[in-house]
Amino acid sequence: MVNHRHAQEKRNGKGTDRGSASRASAAALLALALALGGCSSSSDDDGANSGNAAADNAGTNTGSSADSSADEGSSSPSESGKNGAVGDSSGSDEPASDGESGDSAAEPERGGGGRASQYDDAKPGQLTAGEWDDALAWKSWLRLMDGEEARESQSFWSMFPERRLEVDVTAGGKPVADAEVTLTGRDGEIVWEARTNNKGVAYAYPGLYDEQDRQAEFGVAVEAGQRQKRYENVPIPRGQALKVELGEAVQPPKALDLLLLVDTTGSMEDELNYLKTELKDVVRRVDRDNGQQLDIRVSANFYRDHGDEYVVKPYPFTDDIDKTVGQLSEQKAGGGGDFPEAVDEALANAIGKHEWSENARARLLFLVMDAPPHRDRKIVKRLQELTEDAAAEGIRIVPVASSGVDAHTEYLMRFMASATGGTYLFLTDHSGIGNDHMEPAVGEYEVKALNDLLVEVINRYAS
């Protein structure tokens, strides 16, 4: 396993500051927007987990990762030694600050200064990144969770993602997207809710927030339109996926919701100006390349911290390109100061106060962040509830980790990604842009241009 503490010390020794981390986050958002322009609804020939170059069993990492022993003999992170059409929100189009005051105890401060950009902001594709999908490398994930660092992070965030059930839903032999999967306990209470992805796969996590919960058998209900099936006494862990066939094939939904959620604290003015110049072309390419196959809506959202000019500045989903460009053009960078930011406020707004499509091929929430949320009991509880809500609504959280991320933040992002059916993306040092990026605790992965990687991820969920 990569030693996060050593990586953190290395980064601090080179003088990590808020400006560089924020620039990396802004550049990541830019690369995401550029990547959207290149995505299409065609099938992804690379398979469902092309980011995990050495996942537990490459032959079985193709969109289904049942809790079986099929991946025995593969390398874990510690063994690999690698370092490596629904209307818009009913609210006004004008942004509104969201969130209450209040904070936790004093935390480490991070500088707010900035220095000249190290990259040519007129050229996309320079940022480098990797991907690791813990859902498709489940045996490695379980081994990782047994490590001291992971155990500390589980206790830190009160999340214990070690038990899960995979449910594979088909109709007429074809995957069913956006089917509702409900896990119930012995008294009929709802334990977990999820929705299948475009491959017909959903994951349920009993006891995610309770380390002592050891109920062994559950009820499972699957619903898609008017079709329903129910199972009782389903063991978890089960050893293999629960396969559900609903009968005659159904037409997959056409809606694709993309929500960009980015930290705008610090010195980001140059990057935002670049975005204002380039995004007009990007969103027009998205509409041109995908508008005939999918109903694409985009929502750009920004957040800072308590005490700043605003906490959350949200904009509703829209397919109006000019409106989105106008909203982005108004943004200014500023605020911040201490290390953590109002991540919980931003997620609460993004998940609960936006009109996500009722039926969708995919709902993707790209969380571009370089700092953790504030941590107290109330906020940790809120993060748990938001993760659970996102899973139930089929909103897949896809973090994009930037240079300020520490070990606890990495694990939190991976907890949220795996619980909601998302994947974990992280910037790397190979581009030479920004300060050092902490080496993630993952196995072997391929380094790619961030925009190319994002194209693969979006296509994978939308095909």
Return the domain boundaries, the chain. 4-156+253-462, 161-245
Which pTM value belongs to this model?
A: 0.79
| CA distances from residue 98 to 202, 347, 350, 353 in whole angstroms, order as listed | 32, 11, 11, 10
| Angle, alpha carbons 203-209-460 (nearest 5°) | 30
| Angle, alpha carbons 110-275-306 (nearest 5°) | 35
How much is the CA Rg of the chain, to the nearest whole Å? Answer: 21
Cβ neighbourhood burial of 316 (10 Å; 0-12, 13-18, 19+)? buried
| Cβ proximity of 350 and 261 under 8 Å | yes
| Angle, alpha carbons 311-336-3 (nearest 5°) | 115
How many whole angstroms separate alpha carbon 139 and alpha carbon 158? 21
Please tell me the CATH superfamily of domain 161-245, with its number.
Immunoglobulins (2.60.40.10)
How many whole angstroms separate alpha carbon 277 and alpha carbon 124? 13
Per-residue burial over 132-170, b if 16 or more Cβ lie within 10 Å, else e, is: bbbbbbbbbbbbbbeeebbeebbeebebbbbbbbbbbbb
User: How far, in whole angstroms, is CA 10 from its chain's centroid?
Assistant: 26
Closest CA to 416 of 447, 438, 446, 391: 391
Closest CA to 346 of 319, 377, 371, 376: 371
Residue-level pLDDT at 34 = 53
Closest CA to 303 of 270, 273, 259, 362: 259
How many whole angstroms separate alpha carbon 416 and alpha carbon 398? 8
How many whole angstroms separate alpha carbon 232 and alpha carbon 190? 14
How many whole angstroms separate alpha carbon 142 and alpha carbon 137? 9
Residue numbers of the chain with a pLDDT score lower than 50: 1-19, 21, 40-51, 53-65, 67-92, 96-116, 267-282
Please state the φ and ψ torsions of residue 462, each to the nearest 5 degrees: -105, -10
Closest CA to 405 of 418, 396, 414, 394: 414
How many whole angstroms separate alpha carbon 436 and alpha carbon 325? 32
Instruction: Judge if 4-156+253-462 and 161-245 fold alike in CATH terms.
Output: no
Question: Could you tell me whether strands 448-449 and 128-132 are parallel, antiparallel, or unpaired per DSSP bridges?
Answer: antiparallel
How many whole angstroms separate alpha carbon 447 and alpha carbon 176? 32
Residue-level pLDDT at 36 = 55
Q: Which CATH architecture has domain 4-156+253-462?
A: 3-Layer(aba) Sandwich (3.40)
